[in-house]
Structure 1
Amino acid sequence: MSVLKEILEWSKGRPAWQRDALRRLVLNGELSNDDVHDLTEICKSAHGLADQQDVVPLAADHIPDQGTGLGRVTLLSIFHHRGVNALAEDQTLKFGPSLTAVYGDNAAGKTGYIRILKSACRARGTEEILGNVVSGAAPQKPAVAIKYEVGTDANIREWAGGGGDEFISRVSVFDSQCAAVYLTEKTDVAFRPFGLDLFDKLVKACRLVRSQLESEQSVLRSAAITAFQTPEGTSVARLLAGLSSLTKPDAVKALTLLSPEEESRLSLLERSLVDLQANDPEKLARQLTLRAGRVRSLARHLKDVEMALSADAVSGVFEVRKESGRKGEEAQRLRNATFPEGLFTGTGSERWSLLWESARQFSEELAYPGQAFPVVNNGARCVLCQQDLDHASGHRLRQFEAFVISKTEQELREVRGEFARLQKAFTDLKTANDTADEAVKEIRIEYESLADKISDFLAASEKRRLSVIEALSMGKESPSDLPALVAVSQETDALAEHLQERVKTLRSSSNEEQKKAMTTEVQELSSRKVLAKHEEQVLAEIERKKKVAAYELCLNDTKTHTITQKSSAVTKTSVTQRLKKSFQDELGRLSFRHVEVELKEVGGEQGILYHKLILTRAPGVDLPKVVSEGEQRCLSIAAFFAELSTADDPSGIVFDDPVSSLDYKWREGVARRLVEEAKTRQVIVFTHDIVFLLFLRQLSDELGVQQLDQHVRQLSKGSGVCAEELPWVALKVSMRIGHLKKLIQDAEKLHRDGHQSAYEREASVIYGYLREAWERGLEEVLLGGVVERYRPGVQTQQVTKIADISEEDCKALEAAMTKCSKWLPGHDQAAAARAEVPEPNVLKADIDALENWVSGIRKRRK
């Protein structure tokens, strides 16, 4: 399974925000600030701290094809304008596509160019770039540029300092500082298979999201409620002390709700504790007893008023009046049917009925005692006019009596009586009196709120009573705007009981234990009242704590331990074994077999698995304490190449004095390794070692690697002055001939201009160089490189090439070297034997003779 596919499977068990982060990293390479904000919101939404977010997790269709690979990065040149160490201004150091050898003596300026490269490319350690601090003038700000190419892209790119460059940072630099890191420190593998860097980037995303979450959580933590005082030991104090995200809001609400009984109990206890401070508790008890009696009487009066003016009482009187009207109409119909026409108006009316009843009373009690009214027998007289009754008069009186004793008329009389009684109750009602007023004043001394309620009730009652009376007297319907009544009789009665309880407490709570118990109960109830005032604040604090706890859950989702574990596991599978094998292979290439050293993983953190060089047989011993300085350099180079082997990136590599501290046994091995690497990638080597330089040249020729030579020197204008050729001592014979031809041109100009002395000095130098060129031709061309100076071995396979050496070859060599020695500087000639220095045409012919000799032998051997 590829790294990316394994990450995809693993991601299915990760938090939603990490799955979305992986998708963004695969598609975009890096996370923007907006991405970090979105991912933080996704993380928060999973724990209720934000609205639900749209999440798009990493899926199979997000994984790209891996067949293309990365385009190699190749350096073209460094341009130093100013400001780096003591480097001369406006110098350009060029690099070839395969192998570039940059030679320079000590203090020639190589380190300055290396520091520029380390500030742009990948290096195990960077160095501060200083200006020319020894010049005596203020150092200038560095101004440099590195030109490079990426893959087959024809566009030349440029790094001009400042921030990182994703392309040029893929070029790697090896120097002494890098070597020390490989030997003494645990290091991560900087080059990883495609996709493995997602672990590093995900860890970075975790840190960014965590930072934002911690910032928000910090603000939330600082918003805690301002503490309010509650007595210790109360249930409220315990609640507040243990307040957490798990505290139930209902538990808070339950404590804030005091029942009427608890409210009354609190008031009683508070008053009782004050009472107990009285100088004469018995006298206070008697006063409270009298006050309780007066309050109880007031409660009875208030209850009577409440009943008299209740909604039922008001609606009742108006209902009776309405019923009276209805009954009156029924009676009128009966009257009209009963009485003949011609009677006095009002006959049968209420007043008439009073007259009739009076007549009945007179007849039954005085005129005709014992006889049923009306008496109409023969000889009977009318009790009103006291005249004899005839048949018609008696019949009429019996009609009147039948009407009066009818059911309708009886009901009418009853309802009218009921109405009169009810109306009188409203008229005679006294809502307030002096006794009630005095009682209210007395209550106001300690219970002002209740006194206000009673006063309001009495005032509303009187207005209600007058409104009812007015509507009844004017025959109106029940008023719709009657003042409402809020009953206070029960509270007043409760006050009476309260006062009586205070009396009992005064007479029974004389010891300190009882007082202490009362105080504790007061604190308990009063703290609940305080809690009620701060209920919203406490509930908000619970919500705050819930959010703080939710942020902790979010922060748990940003921990990197699991990512590191998975990174280590995948790295072991995809990198470690490959790295170990490559390291051993590199040691073999360098013929390093006498000390057993291996690369071993040494744990990981934040998504990175680290490795370290250790002694196989003594893993606890520091490597530098056992191996020599040269061996250390060799091991570091092997580790560097092993690390490169884990990458699919063929970008360039730069070496600064790779064979420093190495003897001849290791130089050729390192040179060969570098030239071999130059077949597949750009290799740039900075060195001051001429033998190593010659090794590079020889091996480049052998292995068919194109080599570009650069020479940096220290001149009067500064160090790091660049030339596109090696020093004379490192030049092959053909290149030396080219150099001599340039020198003869300058000498000819001196001769033409008449500067004979200067010409002779220059010609003498040229003959010295020409003699050295013949010597180099001897070993390189005539002897075919079988034996060369500074090379430890003899090329025996080349011996057959020298079988064609002729006497003419040797004579030409001997004659030329003898002639050159004649004008060689340092050979003092006798004054009489002094010969004229040959003119330029002769000198040029001598140079051509060398060139012809070389080309003739080479042509012959082909």
Structure 2
Amino acid sequence: MDFDELWKWFEDRPKWLQDCARRLIEKGLLLQKDYIDLLVICKDEAIGKNVNFSGIPEGSLALQESTKPIRLESIANISGINALCSDKPLDFGKEPICIIYGRNGSGKSGYVRLLKHACGVKNPGNLLSNVFMTDNQPHTAELTFTEEAKKKSSKWSGEPIAELRGIEIYDTACGLVYINKENEVAYEPWILYLFTQLTEACTNLASRINEEIDGMVSSKPDFPSEYETTAASIWYTNISESTTQSEVEKKTAWTSADKEELNEMNKRLIETKPSEKAGDLRRQAHSIKELVYDLKNLTKSFKDPKCNEYIKAKKDALEKRKVADEDAAKVFSRAPLAGIGSETWRLLWEAARKYSNEYAYKTQVFPYVTTDARCVLCQRKLDLESIDRFVSFEKYIKGELQQIALEAEQKFKTSFELLPDVPTAEMITIRIEAARISDQDTIAMVTKYAKKIAARKQTVLNACRMTDISALPGKTALISLVQIARIIYKKARSYDQDAAGQNRPKLEQRSRELKAREWLYQQRQTINKEIVRLTAIKQLKDALDLTNTTALSRRKSSLTEELITNAYIQRFHNELIGLKAKHISVDLEKTRTEVGRVYHRIFLKNTNVDVGTMEILSEGEFRIVSLAAFLADTEGRGSKTTFIFDDPISSLDHVYEEVTAQRLVRLSMTRQVIVFTHRLSLVGYLTKYAEKNKIKSEIVCLSCYRTGQVTDLPINLKRTDKAVNDLLNKRLADAKKAFKNGDDIVYENVARSICIDIRILIERMVEMDLLNEVVRRFCEEVNTKGKIGALAKITEEDCSFVDEYMTKYSRYEHSQSEEVIIPLPPPNEIESDLNEIKRFIENVRSRNK
């Protein structure tokens, strides 16, 4: 294999996948923290951020698959796993093959489920706590194992233990996978297993990303159905992550003008007499135009030329009157009273003239100063001095300077009268209300406009020069009024069109568009949130694309053709032959490669119809075929890890059972084999063929009373020498203690149990020692080779010894008469008998060598 080319192939893969491969090469598995880190790298890479990652070190792909031997030592400190108790560790011993024996319900399957989860096998199943207890304890255990002669211990709490992932476990569930489904091969060279792990990492990250995507629920409301097909509705439907903020602001804009237009549309749609409405609007517009006209004329009256003319006339009149007054002061300096020639005095003189001409002396020229004349003011006769004064007054009044002053004053008066009256605030308000102007800004501007003109007039009246006059108002108010009038005229023309009956469809469509836009404006914040959501989803989907397994599947498939398939199928056939099942018409073939995994299936050969394998095979055939597939699968590994079997032959007949035991013993020559079983026949076959191959085996017994509790082996599974020593050293000591303490009930229970086991020991002694295992229970063959000579050495004393002790100790197992109860022997008698039996076993074994 060209590892340099493969290394370059990895360099073209996503950065997160390169980092993932490096972690797997260095550690062998991914933990929760690794997945969190890789997810961050994947997301950052998807949005184009600079990511901090470490790729595969050059040359590391050429490493060979690990061949480190692994063997399980023990399981201890179990908590929260089925009903398993943890008083004593389950010790697998030091021998190549360990048999865990226990009846149904003793906890064998619980241990196997724990091991399946701890070793990270496929399809581990559910791991339950004790369903009969209320407290739900966490799953924990401590597993001890040896790797390359180095003892290690790992506290397991749910995650697979990296070093134990190579351990293979066969049970009923595994058998169903091998028969019913396309199974992924377990044997994979190091590099292919790396691809499997990378595929699992892709699936894990994809699941996490999809979970995030599913959690991003849209809060975007449905567009109101009554506004469908509007431009706003179409835009809203097509909102995506590429929709810009400026586009949102533009499409969701809603101004006062839009609101006014919508109100106008609604008014026009509900108007029943559009012609009358048009006339009313024109009258309103005309009122506004008249107001504008009057304000313009008022403004013209106070423009600078007019004001300048007024100030000039005022100044001229004042100056000329001053000259006339100065002249009068000279003429009348000796007058007894002051003020002659003043404005007030002139008014008095003119009033006297008018009175004389109209009442006193109608036919005489004023002033009438004959001798009989009287003063028109005081009614007294005029004396000569008074006559002279009257004549001089009149002469003064008709003098040139006085006439010039009067003319100037008249001109000023005319200018004053030309200044128009400025309407009061109340009058302006009346005009505004009459014109039905509702815009408050416009009303304020018009009112201010009139106030400025009134102020200008006041300053004009008081001013002596142009700089003293306040400024005229600007044209803003008038322009606003003109615009309002134009809008109203436009509305009037619209109502004219409405009256013609050809404009309603357009009105309705425009009203819907405006209402749709108003709804969009109300949803602006929600729309912005939706765009943020869609952007995040787009980024997550881009990250999801980086977890695609197609490239991994294709690459692994090409490597698999060379490294796995042909060898795997050949191993399957070899296993069938070895298990004496070649006559079963089945075969194995590769089917497909998917998501970085290679699949095979077991199928029936030479069938006319497509039928499932399980529908044809018997249960025994199913077991042996699935076992062959399992062994073919796992024997391809280069590593020497533990094999665990959970009752693999419970449905096989004695032929399949025996060859399976032989196969398991052969496996134990190269690696540790652990068998969980409840069948004594299998225990017998395993120990038999282990002895034949000079392989030591160890049997561990599980209690049927305390689930998972390791207990002493039953006597029928022990060697006779070990059984007699256990009775002497352990159980008899308990009997002695009870006997010494006078506890008769306890003694009877213990002693009776010992007596019954002595009877079983004698039976085993005959089978194993006296008959030298020539004939054994659970074995169909008679084993004569190297053994049958021991039968000729059996003496009459041997037979008498067996007969004596069999008779004596059979009495305690059988029912006894209430009248004649046989008492149990005392401890010293039992001890003496056991020592005799021990010596007998030693003598027979010594004789048979």
Q: Same fold (TM over 0.5)?
A: yes
Q: Which amino acid aligns with 1:513?
A: Q
1:673 & 1:268 partners in 2: Cα distance? Answer: 95
1:81 & 1:646 partners in 2: Cα distance? Answer: 33
2:493 & 2:53 partners in 1: Cα distance? Answer: 75
Does residue 456 of structure 1 match 2:442?
no
SS of the residue corresponding to residue 179 of structure 1 reads: helix
Aligned to 1:175: 171
TM-score normalized by structure 1? 0.63
Return the match for 1:566 from 520, 528, 552: 552
Does residue 43 of structure 1 match 2:27?
no
TM-aligned CA distance change 1:489 to 1:550, over 3 Å: same
Aligned to 2:801: 820
1:764 & 1:233 partners in 2: Cα distance? Answer: 95
The structural deviation recorded for 1:208 is 1.0
TM-aligned CA distance change 1:71 to 1:44, over 3 Å: same
Aligned to 2:700: 710
TM-aligned CA distance change 1:26 to 1:547, over 3 Å: farther
The structural deviation recorded for 1:173 is 3.4
Aligned to 2:812: none
1:820 & 1:811 partners in 2: Cα distance? Answer: 17
2:228 & 2:721 partners in 1: Cα distance? Answer: 104
The structural deviation recorded for 1:200 is 0.5
Q: Which amino acid aligns with 1:820?
A: F
Does residue 69 of structure 1 match 2:59?
no
- What are the Cα deviations for residues 719-753 of structure 1, in whole angstroms up to 9, with x where unaligned? 7775666744x56xxx43454466678999999x9
Return the match for 2:658 from 659, 668, 674: 668
Aligned to 2:603: 614
TM-aligned CA distance change 1:844 to 1:813, over 3 Å: farther
TM-aligned CA distance change 1:234 to 1:80, over 3 Å: closer
2:256 & 2:707 partners in 1: Cα distance? Answer: 98
1:265 & 1:85 partners in 2: Cα distance? Answer: 75
Q: Which amino acid aligns with 1:629?
A: E
2:84 & 2:240 partners in 1: Cα distance? Answer: 67
Please tell me whether the aligned partners of residues 305 and 431 of structure 1 are also in contact (alpha carbons under 8 angstroms).
no
TM-aligned CA distance change 1:503 to 1:537, over 3 Å: closer
1:256 & 1:147 partners in 2: Cα distance? Answer: 65
The structural deviation recorded for 1:99 is 0.7
Q: Which amino acid aligns with 1:638?
A: A
SS of the residue corresponding to residue 58 of structure 1 reads: coil
1:464 & 1:484 partners in 2: Cα distance? Answer: 9
Alignment of 1:625-636 (within 5 A): 625-636=615-626
- What are the Cα deviations for residues 670-721 of structure 1, in whole angstroms up to 9, with x where unaligned? 122212221232211233444433332233234343322334565xx65777
Aligned to 1:102: 100
Return the match for 2:691 from 685, 694, 701: 701
Does residue 584 of structure 1 match 2:573?
yes
SS of the residue corresponding to residue 709 of structure 1 reads: strand
Alignment of 1:16-165 (within 5 A): 29-30=29-30, 32=32, 36=36, 39=39, 43=43, 46-47=46-47, 52=49, 54-56=51-53, 58-61=55-58, 66-67=63-64, 69=66, 72-78=69-75, 90-97=87-94, 98-104=96-102, 110=108, 114=112, 117=115, 120=118, 124-126=123-125, 147-152=143-148, 154-157=150-153, 159=155, 165=161
SS of the residue corresponding to residue 670 of structure 2 reads: coil
Aligned to 1:421: none
The structural deviation recorded for 1:589 is 2.5
Q: After superposing the two structures, state which structure 1 stretch, 628-637 or 765-774, moved more.
A: 765-774
TM-aligned CA distance change 1:431 to 1:9, over 3 Å: farther
TM-aligned CA distance change 1:639 to 1:274, over 3 Å: closer
TM-aligned CA distance change 1:690 to 1:235, over 3 Å: closer
1:76 & 1:588 partners in 2: Cα distance? Answer: 33
Q: Which amino acid aligns with 1:523?
A: S
Return the match for 1:736 from 705, 720, 723: 720
1:256 & 1:426 partners in 2: Cα distance? Answer: 59
1:13 & 1:681 partners in 2: Cα distance? Answer: 38
The structural deviation recorded for 1:594 is 0.9
The structural deviation recorded for 1:431 is 10
TM-aligned CA distance change 1:54 to 1:491, over 3 Å: same
Between Structure 1 and Structure 2, how many residues are aligned?
706
2:580 & 2:441 partners in 1: Cα distance? Answer: 105
SS of the residue corresponding to residue 453 of structure 1 reads: helix
The structural deviation recorded for 1:590 is 1.6
- Structure 2 unaligned blocks of 5 or more: 309-413, 810-827
- What are the Cα deviations for residues 170-197 of structure 1, in whole angstroms up to 9, with x where unaligned? 5443333433343334444566544121
The structural deviation recorded for 1:126 is 4.3
1:228 & 1:525 partners in 2: Cα distance? Answer: 12
Q: After superposing the two structures, state which structure 1 stretch, 260-269 or 100-109, moved more.
A: 260-269
SS of the residue corresponding to residue 617 of structure 1 reads: coil
Return the match for 1:851 from 837, 842, 846: 842
2:138 & 2:24 partners in 1: Cα distance? Answer: 35
1:205 & 1:179 partners in 2: Cα distance? Answer: 30
Return the match for 1:277 from 273, 280, 289: 273
Aligned to 1:686: 676
The structural deviation recorded for 1:551 is 1.3
Please tell me whether the aligned partners of residues 298 and 492 of structure 1 are also in contact (alpha carbons under 8 angstroms).
no
Alignment of 1:311-322 (within 5 A): none
Alignment of 1:519-558 (within 5 A): 519-520=507-508, 523=511, 531=518, 538=524, 541=527, 544-545=530-531, 547-548=533-534, 551-552=537-538, 554-555=540-541, 557-558=543-544
2:657 & 2:136 partners in 1: Cα distance? Answer: 39
2:71 & 2:113 partners in 1: Cα distance? Answer: 18
2:284 & 2:258 partners in 1: Cα distance? Answer: 22
Aligned to 2:332: none
Please tell me whether the aligned partners of residues 715 and 723 of structure 2 are also in contact (alpha carbons under 8 angstroms).
no
Does residue 297 of structure 1 match 2:301?
no
Q: Which amino acid aligns with 2:686?
A: L
Does residue 200 of structure 1 match 2:200?
yes
Does residue 641 of structure 1 match 2:631?
yes
1:262 & 1:664 partners in 2: Cα distance? Answer: 93
Aligned to 1:410: none
SS of the residue corresponding to residue 558 of structure 1 reads: helix
SS of the residue corresponding to residue 476 of structure 2 reads: coil
Q: CA RMSD in A?
A: 6.0
1:539 & 1:81 partners in 2: Cα distance? Answer: 55
TM-aligned CA distance change 1:214 to 1:597, over 3 Å: same
TM-aligned CA distance change 1:5 to 1:244, over 3 Å: same
Aligned to 1:418: none
- Structure 1 unaligned blocks of 5 or more: 318-423, 829-836
SS of the residue corresponding to residue 823 of structure 1 reads: helix
Please tell me whether the aligned partners of residues 298 and 439 of structure 1 are also in contact (alpha carbons under 8 angstroms).
no
TM-aligned CA distance change 1:698 to 1:472, over 3 Å: farther
Does residue 211 of structure 1 match 2:211?
yes
TM-score normalized by structure 2? 0.64
Alignment of 1:266-415 (within 5 A): 277=273, 284=280, 287=283, 291=287, 294-295=290-291, 297-298=293-294, 300-301=296-297
The structural deviation recorded for 1:593 is 0.9
2:87 & 2:278 partners in 1: Cα distance? Answer: 113
1:183 & 1:655 partners in 2: Cα distance? Answer: 17
Q: Which amino acid aligns with 2:63?
A: Q
1:585 & 1:174 partners in 2: Cα distance? Answer: 19
1:568 & 1:2 partners in 2: Cα distance? Answer: 16
2:136 & 2:513 partners in 1: Cα distance? Answer: 79
TM-aligned CA distance change 1:438 to 1:244, over 3 Å: same
Q: Which amino acid aligns with 2:147?
A: G
